[in-house]
Structure 1
Amino acid sequence: MQKKIIYIILILSLYFNTSVAQNKTKKEILISNINQILENEIEQSNIPSAVILIKQGNKELYKNAFGYAYLNNFENKRLKKPEKTTVNHLYDIASLTKVVGTTTSIMLLADQGLLNINDPVSKYIKAFNTPEKSKITIRHLLTHTSGLMEWFPFYYYSSKRKDTYKIIDKLPLKYEIGSGRHYSDLGFILLGEIIEKVSKLPLDQFMELHIFKPLEMKHTMFNPLNNHSIENITATSHGNPYETRMVTDNTLGMKPDSLNPNQWNGWRKYTLKGEVNDGNAWHANEGVSGHAGLFSTVEDIQKLIDVLKNKGKSKNGQFISEKTLTEFLTQDKFKNGLGWVMNTNSAIIKNGPKGSFGHTGFTGTSIAVIPENNISIILLVNRQNMGLLESKSYYNLNPIREKIFKAVLKYSKSFD
């Protein structure tokens, strides 16, 4: 009997050790794949840096920094002593502001009963009480189905957030309300205004008090140059060459017909480091906007993602109700959630399981979450520091995002 027990223990031990070894090997393969993808992109001078954090459940599967936070100067020539990237560097997260900051803020206000996502925008912004705009709801803004135009160069007409809001009030709709998904910065700028009106706080203060402090996101903020304790910030673009193109190149279809590109010349003529790249956020919204402006780190963003993966719970209790979370992370008829991208044709969650969600930022940032496997990928890249390509566009990161997501999806079910 004793020999049988010993034999069983040996068999179980052998099985356990073999299983652990296999899992370790799969994890090592994943890490090797990620390293190869990102190191290859840096070696080919496609991107200057990358920081990645992959987490499943409570375990960090992989966290690492690659390349240089500040590689090229304003002339787009390599610095003599480029600044090495660390996992603690702040990145301009661009449109991740829409989900990390603005969408989360709307969730919290909805939870508190201070607004309803089906409320008409005109309830909070009286100028929208017109025959053309009265049917636009907060839901429409969150899902990019409001009919508002995608982009407008507000800095030609405004230098204050309150004045920028008034300009949007007067702009005509470009599409029929609810007829299709047309990704719009304007909708999220308006959501920022609604947050301010409902909370009676400036947008940056609301987010700091109700999101960043409670979740201990100590390195997430607007206008980081105003915080003298912040030192490690990645560099982005050399001025705003792409936005200059947006108002001068008619082939992009972004230039308003009535705009004279020469009527404003406030373009920044230096490499941006700590100033939000987005011109509307910087010039027309004082660095603080619902569509862009936040700077953050992978670890800080992960704190919010952990809440979303954990049915709205933080380590200090229920942060967002499960009911609200479910409402925001349920696909609409255009296969996306409220604020979040859920269409699995998107590169960031390509062919992911049902319920996967994520978002991207123009500077090169992205979030991808697979709730079914309790796993997330945060990738921060400052692609703009390499300058524009010959095509006069920035390097396309979607193939990188797709490769990384595919690698994580392939191995994630094998991890504890």
Structure 2
Amino acid sequence: MHKKVVFPSFWTLLILAFFSSLAQGQNLPNQAQEQWVDSVFNSLDQNQRIGQLLMVATYSNKTETHARQIESLINKYGLGGLIFFQGTPAKQASLTNRYQAQSKTPLLIGIDGEWGLGMRLDGVLDFPYQMTMGAMEAEDEQLIYKMGREIARQCRLMGIHVDFAPVVDINSDPANPVIGRRSFGEDKENVARKSISYIAGLQDGGVIASAKHFPGHGDTGTDSHVGLPVIKHDTTRLISTELYPFRKTLESGVMSVMVGHINVPALDPEPGRPASLSPKIVNGWLKERMGFKGLVFTDALNMQGVAKNHKSGEIEVKAIKAGNDVLLFPQNVGKAIEAIKKAVRDGEISQETVDKKVRKILYAKYWAGLDQNERIDVKSLKTELGRPVSGILTKRIYESAITVVRNKGDYLPLRMPDTTTIASLSLNAGKQKTAFQTSAERYATVKHFNLSRDDFSNGRYKATENKLSGYETVLVEVHGMTRRRGSHYGLDTRQLDMLERLRKKGKKVVVVLYGSPYALKYVTGFDHIICAYEDNGFMRQASAEVVFGSLPGKGTIPVSACEEFPVGTGVKTPALGRLGYATPEEVGMDSKVLKKIDKLAIKAVRTKATPGCQVLVAKDGKVVFEKGYGTYTYGDRRPVTRESVYDVASVTKVAATLQAAMLLEGHGLININDKASKHLPEMVGTNKEDVTIVNMLTHQAGLYPYKPFWARTIQDSVKNVYYRSKPSDKYSIKVATGMYGLNSLPDSVWRWTLDCEMRKPQRKSNGFKYNYKYSDQSFYILRRIVEKKTNQPLDQFMDQNFYRPLSLNRTGFLAWDKFDKKAIVPSERDNYFRNGVLQGYVNDPVAALNGGVDGHAGLFSNAYGMAVMLQMCLQDGYYGGYRFYPKNTVAKFTSSPFMRSNGNRRGIGWDKPVVKGDGPTSSRASKNAFGHLGFTGTTIWADPDHNLVYVFLSNRVYPSNTNKKLIKQNIRTHIQDVVYESIYEMDQKFPAKNGHSAR
């Protein structure tokens, strides 16, 4: 489905009407415009009028001598414009101010910025190449329009009025040395549509676009910078193909066209004459047959395609006679002007022709706002050019362009990465971990390997190849690619041979090429191929997200790589609902506001509210903030990172036991209105016989809030009965380091739970025997129900059914056995029960009696693991391509069924915001938010109304659980306040600043 046609703006049509009227000798209707053009035109002498036809090259990275030479040309010849090349934004802006101040007539400033200002200026973000954008599906082409608007905004900030973009050439020759990645591809419809979108964005942003290189520079193996290319097609082919996108862009309202230095015998039979000097092509084809009335620029006149066989002065005269309006990059301004003057005197060029061109240029200057004094604010440039919108657009374009070229057996995306062993291999990118590898390890356990070309020269690769043979899936990134066809685009045959050997051994080899789609012809033997077009951090991260399904693969290659991969090849792969990564601004959040989190977290560490913490924020399925603060313990040098694992305490209830219950209820194995005794016969005859699951989970079942059962086990009279310092057949419950409990200890805890007294009933019942009172015992019981129904211990059930399918390699019970001790943050120095530092052992002492696995405590995780669990809930039980429980299950459990009838805010297992007064969340949280707090200083919250996830993990109980500073300072809630404060409606219109939008 194609996007709707982008129509030119009113002012774009108006300027074309100006040009058309001028060409026909008619008067223009707007008095102010007419007066300004007449006034400026009448103030110019003949030299200055001819000077208006010249746009001279200048640089901001050259010496003062160069700047003075440009000033001299401005003053002496009354130049019409300047085209800037290499330099820096601040220096160019300063020079522009300087040159404009020197010029009697405002200068038309141009830049050759096909992929934005970064193409010419240091320190400015590059936008994607057109070949990359050629891979985007039509539905995403609005991003090209927005990119054009953003480039226009940046140009206007810099005092630039013309951007010589886009390249409208159809690149149909893989050997083309000069167009290639600068083209949208070889499909004429694709090239035309995307060119129109780019043009509309530039011109709606107040910058003149230029379709180039007329009549089409794509089907040639010669670079016009060094020679004269020849396009040998006949007229029928040229009209149907090469000229097609130019005709479409002319119809759409492009304001200027650049004519290329290419020889096209079918359009002009004179041998060796470039199109830029051809009256038959410029006047005949472009202006008369195709009806173009806008500005016509030559390509740079210093290029050898035109300069090799023509002298300075001669070139400019021929270019004027051919029909060009603006002579770009003349080599010798003085000779050019003198030659044109002589041609006018000799009648070779009429004065009327010169005058019409000058007026045409002046109308363009008026449209560009040059009737007003325009001075660039140099001081604000760095900030304004660095606005987040540029990065957002760039990232979105790259994500939309990534192309899954082949995907045998629909292996990609990796739906269950826990069921395969995965290695990543980075070729030619150095020894540091790449953005692809960093991203990949967020989704699965991945072993990384990096090899260089030198490693293949000296044989060091062999050891790595042997190691890779031990993995089932090998994700290969190919870096260091080139644009040169003769070098196989930088592909190393030795490296490809190694990959082929791995493939033949039965390995799933996924090849990601960061370079030209033409290189695909050399990897046709592989079953899983991704073309990523460009090698940068955006593409590396996005490629990994496509592999693992947090992004869809949507692109199609815009050129024919070979017979097996013709133009349009691309396999659509789905997004699997996995968390991705983005900047805050991408999802409508303010990164500057989010930085306030740093201050709050650092304050918590500095005031010893906690030794350290993790904070994660995700919105719209994208992690936008993920940081660690402080250290594991006071005086410990180990910094908290995203990999650090915390005891999440009571968050276990909702991230483990409740998830299991939701699955069971969703599949009809339990009903929340059941009595717990229906599933646990041992409850029959106890004071808990009539307790229902829903009342337990909303904490209004009358269960006693807390009983320190552990204290019974350490009384002097029985301590030696319950514990030993070494394990044995009778004592195998691992309570802590050097502390093993009696095998029957969990049964004792369960008996004590059943025998525990109930709370007193409430006075005013309102039909309810008990009011709300939080109790861990609800989840002691629920765990027993889960294990009874699944016939499996809770920790094993959660691993098999949730944590492993979710690829949460840092989430689980029994951390002391599951994770590297170096990753586990100590929770407490227990001096009352276990007498030691608790690192990897559950903090909760009752859970410890059950060996570290219980329904209310025992889970360990990093912030990312908790964020995934919450995101899965926000997605109604769907994540990673897998549905964990039926639809609407989450909505049921996160409702507050007794809010009105019993004044109980709680969800079914989940905590909910307080309607009035202080509560567990920010006051800005919506009523539909759900989450939980943990004793050790943890909190997790999801807000469906904002599609928001917030996770805070800490060990505030270290060294002692008497430390209440984190609670008193309300750090967790204040950070959540900042999260909500950062949410805003991002400006989707990308308005230009410091300059005119199109009039």
Smaller-chain TM-score bracket: 0.7 to 0.9
Deviation, structure 1 residue 16: 13
Whether contact under 8 Å (2:674, 2:692) holds in the other structure is yes
Task: Verify: 1:406 aligned to 2:977, yes or no.
Answer: yes
Residue equivalent to 2:919: 346
On the 8 A contact 1:96/1:360 being kept in 2, the answer is: yes
Deviation at 1:328, TM superposition (A): 0.2
Distance (Å, rounded) in 1 between the aligned partners of 2:820 and 2:979 = 35
Change (3 A) 1:20 1:118: same
Instruction: Say if 1:178 and 1:374 are closer, same or farther in 2 by CA, change over 3 A.
Output: farther
Pair 10,379 (structure 1): closer, same or farther in 2 beyond 3 Å: farther
**1:266-321 CA distance string (max 9 Å, x none):** x1222211111111111x21111000011001111111111111122112232222
Task: Find the aligned partners of 2:983 and 2:671 in 1 and give their Cα distance.
Answer: 37
Which letter maps to 1:340? W
> 1:187-198 maps to which residues of 2 (within 5 A)?
187-198=778-789
Q: Is the 8 A contact 1:309 1:374 kept in 2?
A: yes
Q: What pairs with 1:16-415 in structure 2 (closer than 5 Å)?
A: 20=389, 23=585, 27-71=590-634, 79=635, 81-130=636-685, 132-155=687-710, 156-157=712-713, 159=741, 160-176=745-761, 178-227=769-818, 229=820, 231-239=822-830, 267-282=833-848, 284-332=849-897, 333=899, 334-344=904-914, 345-387=918-960, 393=964, 395-396=966-967, 399-414=970-985
Where relative contact order (Cα < 8 A, 6+ residues apart) is larger, the structure is 1
Equivalent of residue 4 in structure 1, options 12, 30, 33 = 12
Decide which moves more: 154-163 or 338-347.
154-163
Does the 8 A contact of 1:67 with 1:84 survive in 2? yes
- Matches of 1:57 and 1:314, distance apart in 2: 14
Q: Does structure 2 retain, via aligned residues, the 8 Å contact 1:55–1:62?
A: yes
8 Å Cα contact 2:924-2:980 kept in structure 1: no
1:309-347 C-alpha deviation (Å, 9 max, x unpaired): 112211223222222111101112212211111133523
In 1, distance between residues paired with 2:675 and 2:590?
48
Supply the distance in 2 between the matched residues of 1:50 and 1:10 (Cα, whole angstroms).
Answer: 49
Report if aligned partners of 1:373, 1:413 keep a CA contact under 8 Å in 2. Answer: no
Give SS of 2:631's match.
strand
- Give the secondary-structure state (helix, strand or coil) at the position aligned to 1:63: strand
Question: Can you list the C-alpha shifts for 1:374-415, whole angstroms capped at 9, x where unaligned?
Answer: 0111010111125356xx756416611221111111222436
Measured against aligned partners, the alpha-carbon deviations of 1:227-250 in whole angstroms (never above 9, x if no partner) come to: 26453011111105xxx5xxxxxx
Aligned partners of 1:217 and 1:301 also within 8 Å: no
Whether the 8 Å CA contact 1:349–1:357 is kept in 2: the answer is: no
Which deviates more from structure 2 when the two are superposed, residues 339-348 or residues 30-39? 339-348
Cα offset for 1:28?
2.3
Task: Give distance in 1, aligned partners of 2:755 and 2:862.
Answer: 37
Distance in 2 between residues matched to 1:192 and 1:336, nearest whole Å = 19
Alignment partner, residue 310 of structure 2: none
Task: Kindly state the Cα deviation for residue 361 of structure 1 after the two structures are TM-superposed.
Answer: 0.4
AA in 2 matched with 1:191: L
Alpha-carbon distance in structure 1 between the residues aligned to 2:947 and 2:653: 23
CA distance in 2, matches of 1:174, 1:83: 45
Cα gap change, 1:371 to 1:397, in 2 (>3 Å): farther
State the alpha-carbon separation in 2 of the partners of residues 205 and 236 from structure 1.
23
Q: What's the CA shift for 1:126?
A: 2.0
Q: Contact 1:387 / 1:394 at 8 angstroms: preserved in 2?
A: no
Residues 163 and 59 of structure 1: CA distance in aligned 2, closer, same or farther (over 3 Å): same
By how many angstroms is 1:212 displaced?
1.1
Counterparts in 2 of 1:349 and 1:125: CA distance versus 1, 3 Å? farther
- Given the superposition, is the C-alpha separation of residues 117 and 9 from structure 1 closer, same or farther in structure 2, using an over 3 Å criterion? same
Check the 8 A contact 1:149/1:175 in 2, yes or no: no
Amino acid at match of 1:42: V
Q: How far is the alpha carbon of 1:354 from its aligned partner?
A: 2.0
Counterparts of 1:196 and 1:13, CA distance in 2: 67
Question: Residues 226 and 406 of structure 1: is their aligned pair in 2 closer, same or farther, counting only changes over 3 Å?
Answer: same
Amino acid across the alignment from 1:161: P
Q: What is the Cα-based RMSD across aligned positions, in Å? A: 2.8
Say whether the 8 Å CA contact 1:192–1:290 is kept in structure 2.
Answer: yes
The percentage of aligned residue pairs carrying the same residue is 26
Output the CA distance in 1 between the equivalents of 2:779 and 2:624.
33
In structure 2, do the counterparts of structure 1 residues 148 and 68 end up closer, same or farther at CA, with 3 Å as the change threshold?
same
Measure, in 2, the Cα distance between the counterparts of 1:118 and 1:221.
29
Q: Which amino acid aligns with 2:907?
A: G
Query: Once the two structures are superposed, what CA deviation does each residue of 1:28-75 show, in whole Å capped at 9, x if it has no partner?
Result: 22222111111122122222101111000122111110000122xxxx
Q: Report if aligned partners of 1:234, 1:382 keep a CA contact under 8 Å in 2.
A: yes
CA 175–41 in structure 1, closer or farther in 2 if over 3 Å, else same: same
TM (norm. structure 1) is 0.84
Q: Which amino acid aligns with 2:662?
A: M
Partners of 1:217 and 1:26 lie apart in 2 by 27
Letter in 1 for 2:858: G
| TM-score, normalisation: structure 2 | 0.36
Q: In the superposition, relative to structure 1, how do residues 320 and 146 fare at CA in structure 2: closer, same or farther (>3 Å)?
A: same
**CA-to-aligned-CA distance 1:335-369 (integer Å, 9 cap, x gap):** 22111111335232434112011110000010111
Give the equivalent residue in structure 1 for 2:182.
none
CA displacement at 1:208 relative to structure 2: 1.2
The answer on whether the counterparts of 2:667 and 2:885 sit within 8 Å (CA) in structure 1 is no
Partners of 1:13 and 1:67 lie apart in 2 by 49
Structure-2 separation of matches of 1:231 and 1:405:
29
Q: Structure 1 residues 13, 164: CA separation in 2 closer, same or farther (over 3 Å shift)?
A: farther
Q: Where does residue 455 of structure 2 map in the other structure?
A: none
Q: Name stretches of at least 5 consecutive residues in structure 1 with no aligned partner.
A: 72-78, 245-266
Give the equivalent residue in structure 2 for 1:76. Answer: none
Q: Give 1:20 deviation, angstroms.
A: 3.0
Question: 1:297–1:388: structure 2 CA closer, same or farther, 3 Å change rule?
Answer: closer
